């Protein structure tokens, strides 16, 4: 990737075949996205000034503006920069050997008993130096950016002790300083229980030591808990969430993935920003979500990778729940950063329409991070984060899957060629 220019007063991008603005989706806060709400402008131009969008409209009207720099989009399709709202991108090591064992018929439980699973990534991440984690993370972020992703949420959770969780969050903070991307850190100390540790003692450590220290150092925006069978239960999650809120962290929850334990209902009651996974969500959980401002983040890559059922996206969307899609990029259950590929899975497996799918990685994903007033649509005053795809129409994105057609990414008005 090559940064085209760093400093400019006003940047005009012209000759855009379609600018998918999401103006109508934004007006309806991401619920029931329909084709007309994508508000697609044909033969469009966009003007950016000081990192913000200052004008979007038909290219033929652009002559009255004075611009310092001009980019010809050569008929590409322009989307708002994509948003990956759920990743576990900070880890060291690989679990391809476990994947090979699974392909030979071994169960996840057998692999975990032999030292595999989350705790094997914890071990390799604990052994990695901070600088190694930063280097690996930056490499991954650069790849995400090459796909047109301009915002990434990154969870800790492969440290599982105060010092190690701090190391993971510091790696995220360092990458945030050094990369041209919007990065949001989530503290996920409650990802699993560390080996040889009493469960209640670990929950007490999270609440009494980790959350206060992390907040003092301003290292996270969100707090997440893996609430499921064999992981954190309802009362432990409630305790962690209440503490996190007292320290000013916003909430996210891994809920209803394997078994519905009330995670969605609890998260909605506590006004969490998002609940994620939801493969086993109940009618009661859907009703709670519908009444709340919480966004449902579905992770179809995980279902594909583990051979599990897919989340009931249709039921959620038809009930009026706002749905986002993310990669869940992690070494154990979804080893992909390819958010555009998730749009294919959302269309074919979650039975979502193209407007629903595209809203799920832009405006709705922004809602899952509480940043929808800044990014997620091409509207005047929003941050100039843009992804340009060399495709004949916006509908082509999920259709021609597995290949990268992104040729130009603009973050805060700074263009980078892919
Ligand atoms: Zn996850």
Centroid of ligand 1 to alpha carbon of 215 (angstroms): 21
Q: In what order do the strands lie in the sheet with 149-155?
A: 82-84, 149-155, 182-190, 222-226, 250-255, 274-277, 295-298, 323-325
- 68-114 pLDDT per residue, tens: 789 999 999 999 999 999 999 999 999 999 999 999 999 877 887 78
CA of 9 to the centre of ligand 1 (A): 40
CA of 324 to the centre of ligand 1 (A): 14
pLDDT of residue 7: 64
Tell me the residues surrounding ligand 1 (ion) with CB < 5 Å: 328
244 Cα: distance to centroid of ligand 1 (angstroms): 18
Distance CA 318, CA 326 (A): 20
CA distances in angstroms from 396 to 24, 43, 204, listed in the order given: 21, 17, 50
Q: How many CA atoms lie within 13 A of 352 on its CB side?
A: 32
**Short-list 294, 286, 288, CA closest to 312:** 286
pLDDT at 232: 97
**How far away, in angstroms, is 88 Cα from ligand 1 center?**
6
Rounded average pLDDT over 44-56? 96
> Does residue 88 sit in helix, strand or coil?
coil
Percentage of the residues of the chain whose pLDDT score is greater than 90? 91
pLDDT of residue 53: 97
Does residue 404 have a pLDDT over 70? Answer: yes
Q: What pLDDT does 112 receive?
A: 78
Kind and range of the H or E run holding 313: helix 313-318
Domains and CATH numbers, the chain: 2-80+376-417 (2.30.40.10), 83-367 (3.20.20.140)
**pLDDT tens by residue, 325-380:** 999 999 999 999 999 999 999 999 999 999 999 999 999 999 999 999 999 999 99
CA of 255 to the centre of ligand 1 (A): 10
Query: Is 167 a residue whose pLDDT tops 80?
Result: yes
Give the residues across from 2 on adjacent strands.
417
The first and second tokens of residue 44, run together, are 């469009």
Residue range 261-311, pLDDT digits in tens: 999 999 999 999 999 999 999 999 999 999 999 999 999 999 999 999 999
Is the confidence at residue 6, as pLDDT, over 90?
no
- Residue 346: burial class (beta carbons within 10 Å; 0-12, 13-18, 19+): buried
Q: Could you tell me which of 418, 359, 415 has the C-alpha nearest to residue 72? A: 415
4 versus 413: the higher-pLDDT residue is: 413
pLDDT of residue 8: 67
Q: Over range 245-254, report the average pLDDT.
A: 98
177-199: pLDDT as tens digits: 999 999 999 999 999 999 889 99
Alpha carbon of 10 to ligand 1 centroid (Å): 39
pLDDT at 18: 98
């Amino acid at each position: 990737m090559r940064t085209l220019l760093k400093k400019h007063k006003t940047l005009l991008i012209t000759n855009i075949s379609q600018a998918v603005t999401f103006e109508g989706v934004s007006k309806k806060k991401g619920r029931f996205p329909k084709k007309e709400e994508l508000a697609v402008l044909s033969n469009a131009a966009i003007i950016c000034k000081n990192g913000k969008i200052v004008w979007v409209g038909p290219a033929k009207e652009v002559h009255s503006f004075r611009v310092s720099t001009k980019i010809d989009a050569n008929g590409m399709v322009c989307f708002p920069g994509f948003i990956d709202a759920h990743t576990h991108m900070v880890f060291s090591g690989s679990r391809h050997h476990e994947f090979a064992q699974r392909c030979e018929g071994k169960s996840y439980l057998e692999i975990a008993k032999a030292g595999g699973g989350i705790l094997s990534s914890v071990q390799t991440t604990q052994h990695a130096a901070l600088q190694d984690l930063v280097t690996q993370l930056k490499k991954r972020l650069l790849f995400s950016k090459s796909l047109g992703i301009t915002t990434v949420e990154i969870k800790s959770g492969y440290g599982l002790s105060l010092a190690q969780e701090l190391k993971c969050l510091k790696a995220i903070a360092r990458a945030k300083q050094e990369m041209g991307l919007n990065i949001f850190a989530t503290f996920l100390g409650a990802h699993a229980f560390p080996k040889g540790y009493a469960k209640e003692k670990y929950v007490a450590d999270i609440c009494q030591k980790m959350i206060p220290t992390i907040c003092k150092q301003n290292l996270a925006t969100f707090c997440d808990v893996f609430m499921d069978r064999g992981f954190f239960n309802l009362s432990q999650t409630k305790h962690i969430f209440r503490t996190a809120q007292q320290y000013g962290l916003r909430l996210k929850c891994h809920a209803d993935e394997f078994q519905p334990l009330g995670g969605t209902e609890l998260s909605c009651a506590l006004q969490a920003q998002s609940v994620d996974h939801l493969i086993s969500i109940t009618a009661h959980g859907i009703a709670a979500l519908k009444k709340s401002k919480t966004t449902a983040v579905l992770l179809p890559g995980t279902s594909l990778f583990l051979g599990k059922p897919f989340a009931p996206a249709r039921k959620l969307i038809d009930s009026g729940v706002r749905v986002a899609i993310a990669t869940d990029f992690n070494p154990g259950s979804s080893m992909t950063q390819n958010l555009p590929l998730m749009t294919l899975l959302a269309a074919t497996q979650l039975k979502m329409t193209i407007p629903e799918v595209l809203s799920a990685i832009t405006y709705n994903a922004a809602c899952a991070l509480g940043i929808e007033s800044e990014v997620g649509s091409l509207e005047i005053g929003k941050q100039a984060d843009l992804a340009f795809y060399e495709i004949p129409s916006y509908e082509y994105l999920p259709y021609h899957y597995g290949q990268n057609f992104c040729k130009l990414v603009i973050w805060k008005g700074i263009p980078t060629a892919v």
